[in-house]
């Protein structure tokens, strides 16, 4: 599961959500404006959004998410290529 901590009006948050939808990866969004205390507790000292948790690990923001999605999709392609051999 991938969790995006973001805002409805944040460009990077919107891009993160769209990327995960296109890649068909299961995710949820927690809007920080609805629960700012949860954001501060989960990411003490972080002031920027989005902040993303990938399978329980804090990976960073949009750029880190894009790298992780690319790795995941490449691995899936390799595995499907191996099974077709």
Question: How confident is the model over 39-74, as pLDDT tens digits?
Answer: 999 999 898 999 999 999 999 999 999 999 999 999
Mean pLDDT of the chain: 93
The dihedrals phi and psi of 49, each to the nearest 5 degrees, come to -125, 155
Instruction: Please state, in angstroms and rounded to a whole number, the distance separating the CA atoms of residues 18 and 22.
Output: 6
Whether 31 shows a pLDDT value over 60: the answer reads yes
Residue 85, pLDDT score: 55
- How is domain 2-84 classified at the CATH fold level? Glutaredoxin (3.40.30)
Residue 84, pLDDT score: 62
Helix (H) or strand (E) holding 18: helix 11-22
* Radius of gyration, alpha carbons of the chain: 14
**Hey, how many other C-beta atoms are within 10 angstroms of the C-beta on 34?**
10
From 36, 33, 6, select the one nearest 18 (Cα to Cα): 6
Whether 36 shows a pLDDT value over 60: the answer reads yes
């Amino acid at each position: 599961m991938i969790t995006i901590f973001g805002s409805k009006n944040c460009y990077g948050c919107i891009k993160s959500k769209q990327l995960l939808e296109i890649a068909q990866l299961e995710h949820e969004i927690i809007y920080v404006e609805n629960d700012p205390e949860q954001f501060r507790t989960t990411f003490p000292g972080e002031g920027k959004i989005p902040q993303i948790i990938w399978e329980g690990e804090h990976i960073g923001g949009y750029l880190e998410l894009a790298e992780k999605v690319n790795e995941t999709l490449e691995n899936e392609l390799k595995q499907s290529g191996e099974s077709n051999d």
